[in-house]
Amino acid sequence: MNLISVIGSGTMGNGIAHTFALAGLRVNLIDISQEKLEQALDTITLNLGRQVSKGAISEAEKNTSLGNIEVFTEMEKGVADADLVIEAATENLSVKLNIFKELDRLCKPEAILASNTSSISITRIAAETNRADKVIGMHFMNPVPVMKLVEVIRGFKSSDDTTKAIMDMAIRIGKIPVEAHDYPGFVANRILMPMINEAIFTLHEGVAGVTEIDTVMKLGMAHPMGPLQLADFIGLDVCLAIMNVLQEGFGNPKYAACPLLVNMVTSGQLGVKSGSGFYDYSGENNELVVSKRWTT
């Protein structure tokens, strides 16, 4: 596999494109918005520049990586010759199903179709195609260029050959792949999201404040980031969507989202992406400040 198409140029999409391009593969980055594609290229350029300044890569490697990326607003042109397509669109079932239906029609028969979904069933996605054996999950962690883990999720019909090809590809781009089967939340989010949800319940019930909860988990459990700060970083809307997938998938009330999480998402308080969540991100410095709501 030498030509990789990435669908979606947001945070995950541009990080995936960055990683593959740096590993020497050609990348077609696809989005419906030319403006978003230009923003993605700016972000990739900035992040590659940071790697240069840290001595992780050379200026020549940066320039070569940027030269490996081509952008497209038309999916048909961007995926026609791809050996591997990675969908990194919004975490919405209907959006993903429509994309995979189109990919199945537009891609060459031997192309592997992967989804970066963090929780949606690969088996359900694959059912929209006529190549379920070539559909698989490739769940990267954020920020993609930094985080080593890739969850490789086998759908019910994902073949051994497809799984091996993706495991090998993850290693080729410098990642550590971990194979998982297709059940709600896979491994990472089945464990992580209930913990975040419980941290929100702990705040909601007045057991402790934002800083206290995050401090306990950082100092007591050696987590690099507290669960409430991590929720802000992920996006509270994404956290809620994953909790809903877990609850619907297992039918177990232990996966019910905290009412506080529901209210915050409903009100548009989504974390870093909206400027405010459990912490406030409207300031110009990098100091972590608890949102006023939790300090009054």
CA angle 178, 180, 184 (to 5 degrees): 135
Q: Which residues are catalytic?
A: 118, 139, 151, 189
Instruction: Specify whether the CB–CB gap between 72 and 30 falls below 8 A.
Output: yes
DSSP state of 186: T
| DSSP code of residue 267 | T
What is the signed CA dihedral for 36, 42, 43, 44, rounded to 10 degrees?
110
User: Exposed (0-12), middle (13-18) or buried (19+): which is 126, by Cβ within 10 Å?
Assistant: buried
- Distance of alpha carbon 54 from alpha carbon 159, whole angstroms: 40
- Would you list the DSSP string of 123-147? HHHHTTSS-GGGEEEEEEPSSTTT-
* φ and ψ of 27, to 5 deg: -130, 130
